[in-house]
């Protein structure tokens, strides 16, 4: 039997609230520390304790980060999903199962490793048996796969920083798990791990924490938020970092945090901060964005800088609150009633989460319009390898805000919405400055900011707003192109799909199909997007939702003769994108084109 | 000529004429109670000597919320969305605590669509003056009952209101609001004293002002009409305001009982007892007065409740002394060394 090295998928089935998350993170971290390209996906329920949870760990020599197409090693701990999990396995799968669960192991076509997890756990500490059970399988897996003990021990130390008794308990459980396998079972499977030399040191971080740090380096002055999965950890990361990086020696912060009574109030506070001249932001998810619609329209119409981070989950309605989707592209881009259009940023990596975190403030103040960052549960709540964050090269762009009386006096005529420079972006003065005070409003207004229902005023205002947003398209982050020469097929995708695109590309190439890639990183679409479509016979718009939201937007915005070149491949079942599903759908769609 | 004019223009303590506090022409119905309140806002701000540009005038949506266009033309303002003025004010306050925030709202704005935001602004003891121009009807949509319409009251068109009203003052007292007053747009002297005191208060100051709607709710059967309120107003006390820049020793002391309450900026509100003494630091007494008034179909006015012991929002936020909008960009963005430290801490 030939060894399969560093290239397989482990699926761990446990119950929520049993400490399985720390066990899985220890497993993930120790593989990562051995230099093995690895990714972890936490499929958790909307529940605190008791419902089924799966954790998928993918080891991939190619660096693939999506869950694999099949499970190679199944860890069975949760009796609730036991039968279902077992039935789904392909012949030859390795099954590491809890011998004490009183459930049957009725498959003879798999490689079976029974481990008395509960018994071992109770032998260490009867009271904490449930929690330790999970760490026992980490020990068994370590023995089966050859995970270095030193890597495990350092991962345990990181996980339970400073809690000596927990460190001892977990180290002990791992050793007993190892020992049981060594003394009672024989390895009958081909899966092994092998340490790799680490070329570039990296660390693991969740997208939400990366956005949080980015926002704090962007000079956020107000975070106003309402708890919602999967964005709460973004706000909580900001709260955790403010005392470390935005607080003086006296313990006084220069970023305010207010937990609002609902998402409407959160959005209102963001607008209040922007109106007063500060950098305000909120973090939410789709249902929150739905509730914020009225304020989003006000921010657009009254031209108030404001930043909204949307960590998408599965819609519509409450949907699948703990699953992932690119659900809100249309909602963000065309948010609120009436004719609107908004700037939306789509980070695809944790490095970009950080960058767009600070950049969003510069863009919102420059264009005096709401700016959205769209991430999703997959990018936001899973851990991704990061090479380190880069410090902003540019100084902050505070936009056309007049703080100096001399500059103000140089204006012949000052109107809050007067297009002095012909770029659609007016100048503003701040409350408290005494310069050109006006009553901001969500009602129609003329260039002087005075209430108006006159057709000409309305038309000019709406025209200018459109031009203003249009003018942002080549200033906001440009797409990232990976083009093969003479390639007929192009793929446009965005956001967290970045982590699956290479696998999709390789799967397509294995069938003889070469494609070019274009990762859109912001809306309105950069002018390069149109050129990319022009260069290719057919362009697939690939996204993680049902309706092809980005496809719909691009169809409206590209010249009509290019529209027939576009095809939509949109799919979402709530799971993180798996390469094979999308590759197959792309091939199917292209076959239709040929017909 | 010019000398003579200078002598005739009266200036306030910061040498501003009253004109510096005026606004645009009102487009409300002639005789609207709201216009009377606007003129009191102008007088109160002028007499208190607040710098006009250091005021922020905030509102929601409705007849009342249009009024910021009619006063304080030298102040920035924000006519926000329906019922959501408290949150916008809170966000502005978080980044610039140095402005005097005067919010104007109506009974539709505050007692229905925006009641949640009102409650939470009270809960945070958000530092602002919050005026409710309360007429019991939705004016801009042409006269539907609001949630403050009294039981048994009848507007110009339609049936008698049978639904229990929400008493915003009772609600605020129950929530621990730190300054709760009720007044009447026709009682200008009382309203002005309360408003000036509210401006000197650090924390959430609610003034619920009965402000008759002359178009839809000023008929004899209405309990929020000019005639009804004039006949059925129960005044708790005579109110007088003594600003901090006017030494209290020089103020003439009225005969009889009175209670002086010192406000955060050193000003005083003097409450002269009319019949029974009202202790505004006693929530039970305040609620009792409201309950009695409701039972007898009366409107009780005056400073109902006051508490100067609670921290306001700014103390809870734990921020630097400088208003955040004045903090330099360099201080808002942590250093490059800090980011390098973070990167290397993650790596090790």
Write out pLDDT tens, residues A312-332.
999 999 999 999 999 999 999
Cβ neighbors of A411 (< 8 A, separation 6 or more) are A420, A427
Nearest to A430 among B79, B86, B325 (CB): B325
Radius of gyration of chain A (CA): 26
Nearest to B76 among A258, A268, A438 (CB): A438
Nearest to A252 among B87, B319, B329 (CB): B319
Do the beta carbons of residue B105 and residue B208 sit within 8 Å? Answer: no
Give the Cα separation of A161 and A151 in Å (integer): 15
Q: Is the pLDDT of residue B219 over 90?
A: yes
Do the beta carbons of residue A135 and residue A23 sit within 8 Å? Answer: yes
Which of A200, A242, A258, A393 would best serve as a mutation to test chain B binding (most B beta carbons within 10 A)? A258
- Are B342 and A441 a contacting pair at CB < 8 A? no
DSSP B118-137: HHHHHHTT-SEEEEEEE-SE
Q: Which two tokens stand for residue B232?
A: 């059925």
- Are A269 and B321 a contacting pair at CB < 8 A? no
Cβ neighbors of A367 (< 8 A, separation 6 or more) are A343, A399, A425, A468, A469, A472
Does the residue B343 lie in any domain? no
pLDDT, tens digit (0-9, with 9 covering 90-100), for A114-151 = 999 999 999 999 998 888 999 999 999 999 999 999 99
Place of tokens 């309203």: B191
- Are B329 and A219 a contacting pair at CB < 8 A? yes
Q: Which two tokens stand for residue A416?
A: 């809050």
Task: Mark which residues 20-79 of A lie under 8 Å from B by CB.
Answer: none
DSSP A98-163: EGGG------SSSEEEEE-HHHHHHHH-STTHHHHHHHHHHHHHHHHHT--HHHHHHHHHHHTTT-
Chain B contact for A261 (CB, 8 A cutoff): yes
Radius of gyration of chain B (CA): 22
Question: Which residues in chain A have Cβ-Cβ distances shorter than 8 Å to B91?
Answer: 222, 224, 258, 268-276, 280
* One domain for residues A298 and A428: no
- How far lies B40's CA from each of A46, A220, B21, B48, B100, in Å? 54, 38, 11, 12, 16
* Domain C-terminal end among A192, A226, A244: A192
Q: What are phi and psi of B182, to 5 degrees?
A: -125, 145
- Are A437 and B53 a contacting pair at CB < 8 A? yes
Task: Mark which residues 111-150 of B lie under 8 Å from A by CB.
Answer: 116-117, 119-120, 124
Chain A contact for B320 (CB, 8 A cutoff): yes
pTM of the model: 0.96
Cβ neighbors of B6 (< 8 A, separation 6 or more) are none
Nearest to B94 among A222, A251, A438 (CB): A222
Nearest to A439 among B79, B329, B334 (CB): B79
Locate the chain A residue with the closest alpha carbon to B315: A252
Nearest to B90 among A221, A258, A439 (CB): A258
Per DSSP (E only), the strands in A260-414 are 280-284, 306-312, 343-345, 370-376, 383-386, 401-402
Do the beta carbons of residue B13 and residue B49 sit within 8 Å? Answer: yes
Do the beta carbons of residue A452 and residue A444 sit within 8 Å? Answer: yes
- Mean pLDDT taken over chain B: 95
Give the Cα separation of A127 and A92 in Å (integer): 36
Write down the pLDDT at residue B297: 95
Question: Which residues in chain B have Cβ-Cβ distances shorter than 8 Å to A261?
Answer: 116-117, 119-120
pLDDT, tens digit (0-9, with 9 covering 90-100), for B104-133 = 999 999 999 999 999 999 999 999 999 999
Does the residue B336 lie in any domain? no
For residue A234, give the H/E element and its range: helix A232-245
ipTM: 0.96
Does the residue B142 lie in any domain? yes
Does the residue B338 lie in any domain? no
Q: Is the pLDDT of residue A35 over 80?
A: yes
Q: Which of A22, A12, A4 is nearest to A60 (CA)?
A: A4
Range list of H helices, A445-568: 455-470, 498-510, 527-535, 549-557
Domain encompassing residue A420: 401-470
Cβ neighbours, 10 Å, residue B329: 12
- Collapsing DSSP to helix, strand or coil, A248 comes out as coil
Q: Is the pLDDT of residue A588 over 70?
A: yes
Locate the chain B residue with the closest alpha carbon to A430: B76
Do the beta carbons of residue A98 and residue A133 sit within 8 Å? Answer: yes
Locate the chain A residue with the closest alpha carbon to B313: A258
Does the residue B272 lie in any domain? yes
* One domain for residues A289 and A220: yes
- Are A268 and B86 a contacting pair at CB < 8 A? yes
Give the Cα separation of A15 and A85 in Å (integer): 13
Write down the pLDDT at residue B3: 53
Q: Any idea what the CATH number is for the domain that residue B184 is in?
A: 3.40.50.970
For residue A291, give the H/E element and its range: helix A286-291
Q: What are phi and psi of A558, to 5 degrees?
A: -95, 160
- How far lies A222's CA from each of A410, A486, B91, B93, B291, in Å? 32, 49, 7, 10, 41
Write down the pLDDT at residue B4: 55
Which of B84, B88, B126, B343 would best serve as a mutation to test chain A binding (most A beta carbons within 10 A)? B88
pLDDT, tens digit (0-9, with 9 covering 90-100), for A301-315 = 999 999 999 999 999
* One domain for residues A150 and A236: no
Write down the pLDDT at residue B247: 80
* Domain C-terminal end among A446, A470, A494: A470
Write down the pLDDT at residue B6: 56
* One domain for residues A97 and A9: yes
Locate the chain A residue with the closest alpha carbon to B52: A434
CA distance A301 to chain B (A): 11
* Domain C-terminal end among A192, A226, A241: A192
What percentage of chain B's residues is helix, strand, coil (to nearest 5)? 40, 20, 40
* One domain for residues A210 and A280: yes
- Burial class of residue A207 in the structure, from the number of CB atoms within 10 Å of its CB (0-12 exposed, 13-18 middle, 19+ buried): buried
Range list of H helices, A185-226: 207-217
Which of A239, A263, A276 would best serve as a mutation to test chain B binding (most B beta carbons within 10 A)? A276
pLDDT, tens digit (0-9, with 9 covering 90-100), for A83-101 = 999 999 999 999 999 999 9
Chain B contact for A388 (CB, 8 A cutoff): yes
Does the residue B346 lie in any domain? no
Cβ neighbors of A203 (< 8 A, separation 6 or more) are A385, A386, A388, B346, B347
Cβ-Cβ contacts under 8 Å between A and B: the total is: 207
- Are B325 and A278 a contacting pair at CB < 8 A? yes
Do the beta carbons of residue A157 and residue A167 sit within 8 Å? Answer: yes
- Burial class of residue A3 in the structure, from the number of CB atoms within 10 Å of its CB (0-12 exposed, 13-18 middle, 19+ buried): exposed
Write down the pLDDT at residue B1: 45
* One domain for residues A338 and A443: no
Domain count, chain A: 4
Give the Cα separation of B249 and A123 in Å (integer): 81
- Are A440 and B75 a contacting pair at CB < 8 A? no
Mean pLDDT on A452-477: 98
* One domain for residues A237 and A105: no
Question: Which residues in chain B have Cβ-Cβ distances shorter than 8 Å to A396?
Answer: 329, 332-333
For residue B164, give the H/E element and its range: none
Write down the pLDDT at residue A595: 73
Q: Any idea what the CATH number is for the domain that residue A519 is in?
A: 3.40.50.920
Domain encompassing residue B44: 23-326
Do the beta carbons of residue A426 and residue A368 sit within 8 Å? Answer: yes
- Are B324 and A261 a contacting pair at CB < 8 A? no
| Cα dihedral across residues B12, A405, A426, A271: positive or negative | negative
| Cα dihedral across residues A388, A393, A394, A395: positive or negative | positive
- Are A269 and B90 a contacting pair at CB < 8 A? yes
pLDDT, tens digit (0-9, with 9 covering 90-100), for A553-570 = 999 999 999 999 999 999
Q: Any idea what the CATH number is for the domain that residue A117 is in?
A: 3.40.920.10
Q: What are phi and psi of B78, to 5 degrees?
A: -145, 110
- Are A265 and B92 a contacting pair at CB < 8 A? no
* One domain for residues A211 and A188: no
pLDDT, tens digit (0-9, with 9 covering 90-100), for B224-281 = 999 999 999 999 999 999 999 988 777 777 888 899 999 999 999 999 998 888 999 9
Cβ neighbors of B247 (< 8 A, separation 6 or more) are none
* One domain for residues A414 and A358: no
Write down the pLDDT at residue B251: 79
* One domain for residues A448 and A342: no
Domain count, chain B: 1
Residue B238 has, within 13 A of its CA and on its CB side, a CA count of 11
Does the residue A391 lie in any domain? no
Question: Which residues in chain A have Cβ-Cβ distances shorter than 8 Å to B140?
Answer: none
Among the residue ranges A42-46, A179-183, A442-446, A516-520, the one predicted with the least confidence is: A42-46
Chain A contact for B80 (CB, 8 A cutoff): yes
* One domain for residues A363 and A501: no
* One domain for residues A168 and A35: yes
Nearest to B116 among A256, A261, A431 (CB): A261
Cβ neighbors of A217 (< 8 A, separation 6 or more) are A354, A357, A358, A389, A391, A392, B333, B334, B339
Cβ neighbors of A372 (< 8 A, separation 6 or more) are A307, A308, A309, A310, A332, A335, A342, A343, A344, A345
- Are A246 and B334 a contacting pair at CB < 8 A? yes
Task: Mark which residues 451-490 of A lie under 8 Å from B by CB.
Answer: 451
Does the residue A198 lie in any domain? no
Locate the chain B residue with the closest alpha carbon to A278: B325
Does the residue A393 lie in any domain? no
- Burial class of residue A85 in the structure, from the number of CB atoms within 10 Å of its CB (0-12 exposed, 13-18 middle, 19+ buried): buried
Range list of H helices, chain B: 2-8, 33-48, 63-66, 85-95, 107-108, 115-123, 168-174, 188-200, 226-232, 283-295, 313-317, 329-332, 336-347
Q: Is the pLDDT of residue A484 over 80?
A: no
pLDDT, tens digit (0-9, with 9 covering 90-100), for B179-216 = 999 999 999 999 999 999 999 999 999 999 999 999 99
CA distance A207 to chain B (A): 14
């Amino acid at each position: 039997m030939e060894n399969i090295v560093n290239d397989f998928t482990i699926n761990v089935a446990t119950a929520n609230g049993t400490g399985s998350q720390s066990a899985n993170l220890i497993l993930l971290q120790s593989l990562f520390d051995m230099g093995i390209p690895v990714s972890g996906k936490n499929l958790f329920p909307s529940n605190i304790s008791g419902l089924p949870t799966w954790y998928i760990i993918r080891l991939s020599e190619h660096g693939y980060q999506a869950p694999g197409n099949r499970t190679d090693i199944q860890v069975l701990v949760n009796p609730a999903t036991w039968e279902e999990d077992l039935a789904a396995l392909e012949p030859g799968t390795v099954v590491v199962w809890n011998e004490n669960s009183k459930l049957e192991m009725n498959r003879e076509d798999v490689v079976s490793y029974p481990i008395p997890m509960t018994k071992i756990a109770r032998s260490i500490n009867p009271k904490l048996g449930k929690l330790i059970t999970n760490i026992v399988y980490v020990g068994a897996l370590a023995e089966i796969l050859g995970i270095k003990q030193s890597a495990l021990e350092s991962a345990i130390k990181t996980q339970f920083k400073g809690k000596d008794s927990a460190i001892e308990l977990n180290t002990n459980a791992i050793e007993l798990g190892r020992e049981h396998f060594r003394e009672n079972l024989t390895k009958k499977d081909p899966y092994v791990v092998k340490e790799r030399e680490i070329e570039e040191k990296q660390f693991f971080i969740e997208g939400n924490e990366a956005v949080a740090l980015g926002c704090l380096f962007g000079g956020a002055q107000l975070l106003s938020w309402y708890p919602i999965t999967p964005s709460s950890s973004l706000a909580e990361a900001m709260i955790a970092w403010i005392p470390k990086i935005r607080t003086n020696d006296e313990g006084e912060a220069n970023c305010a945090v207010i937990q609002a009574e609902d998402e409407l109030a959160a959005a209102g506070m963001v607008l209040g901060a922007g109106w007063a001249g500060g950098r305000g932001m909120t973090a939410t998810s789709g249902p929150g964005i739905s509730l914020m619609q009225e304020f989003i329209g006000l921010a657009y119409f009254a031209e108030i800088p404001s930043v909204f981070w949307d960590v998408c989950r599965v819609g519509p309605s409450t949907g699948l609150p703990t699953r992932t989707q690119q659900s809100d592209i249309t909602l963000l881009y065309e948010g609120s009633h009436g004719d609107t259009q908004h700037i939306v940023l789509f980070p695809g990596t944790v490095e970009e989460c950080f960058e767009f975190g600070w950049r969003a403030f510069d863009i919102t103040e420059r264009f005096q319009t709401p700016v959205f960052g769209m991430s999703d549960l997959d990018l936001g709540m899973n851990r991704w390898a990061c090479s380190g964050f880069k410090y902003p090269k540019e100084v902050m762009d505070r936009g056309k805000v007049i703080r100096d009386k001399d500059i103000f006096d140089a204006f012949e005529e000052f109107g809050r919405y007067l297009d002095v420079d012909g770029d659609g972006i007016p100048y503003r003065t701040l409350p408290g400055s005494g310069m050109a005070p006006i009553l901001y409003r969500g009602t129609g207004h003329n260039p002087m900011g005075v209430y108006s229902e006159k057709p000409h005023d309305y038309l000019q205002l709406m025209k200018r707003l459109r031009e203003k947003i249009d003018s942002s398209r080549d200033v906001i982050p440009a797409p990232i192109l990976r083009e093969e020469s003479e390639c007929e097929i192009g793929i446009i995708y965005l956001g967290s799909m970045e982590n699956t695109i290479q696998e999709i590309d390789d799967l397509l190439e294995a069938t003889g199909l070469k494609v070019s890639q274009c990762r859109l990183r912001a809306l309105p679409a950069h002018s390069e997007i149109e050129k990319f479509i022009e260069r290719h016979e057919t362009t697939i718009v690939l996204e993680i939702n049902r309706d092809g939201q980005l496809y719909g937007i691009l169809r409206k915005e590209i010249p009509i003769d290019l529209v027939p070149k576009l095809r939509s491949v949109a799919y979402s079942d709530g799971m993180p994108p798996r390469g094979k599903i999308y590759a197959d759908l792309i091939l199917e769609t292209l076959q239709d084109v040929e017909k | 000529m010019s000398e003579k004019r200078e002598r005739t223009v009266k200036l306030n303590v910061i040498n501003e004429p009253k004109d510096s506090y005026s606004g645009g022409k009102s487009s409300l119905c002639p005789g609207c109670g709201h216009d009377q309140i606007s003129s009191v806002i102008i007088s109160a701000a002028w007499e208190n000597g607040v710098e006009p540009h250091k005021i922020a005038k905030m509102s929601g949506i409705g007849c009342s919320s249009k009024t910021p266009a009619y006063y304080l033309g030298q102040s920035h303002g924000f006519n926000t969305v329906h019922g959501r003025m408290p949150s916008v004010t809170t966000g502005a306050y978080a980044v610039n605590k140095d402005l005097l925030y005067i919010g104007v709202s109506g009974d539709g704005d505050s007692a229905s669509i925006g009641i949640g935001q009102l409650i939470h602004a009270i809960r945070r003891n958000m530092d602002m003056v919050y005026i409710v121009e309360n007429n019991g009807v939705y004016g801009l949509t042409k006269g539907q009952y609001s949630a403050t319409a009294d039981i048994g009251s009848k507007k110009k068109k339609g049936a008698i209101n049978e639904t229990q009203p929400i008493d915003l003052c009772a609600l605020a007292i129950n929530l621990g609001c730190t300054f709760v007053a009720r007044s009447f747009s026709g009682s200008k002297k009382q309203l002005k004293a309360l408003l000036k005191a509210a401006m000197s208060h650090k924390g959430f100051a609610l003034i619920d002002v009965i402000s008759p709607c002359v178009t839809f709710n000023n008929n004899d059967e209405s309990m929020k009409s000019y005639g009804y309120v004039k006949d059925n107003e129960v005044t708790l006390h005579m109110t007088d305001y003594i600003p901090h820049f006017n030494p209290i020793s020089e103020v003439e002391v009225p005969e009889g009982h009175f209670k002086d309450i010192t406000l955060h900026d050193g000003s005083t509100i003097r409450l002269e007892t009319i019949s029974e003494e009202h202790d505004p630091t006693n929530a039970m007494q305040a609620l009792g007065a409201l309950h009695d008034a409701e039972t007898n179909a009366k409107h009780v006015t005056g400073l109902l409740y006051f508490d100067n012991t609670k921290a306001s929002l700014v103390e809870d936020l734990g921020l630097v002394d400088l208003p955040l909008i004045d903090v330099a960009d360099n201080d808002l963005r942590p250093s490059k060394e800090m980011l390098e430290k973070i990167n290397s801490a993650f790596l090790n």
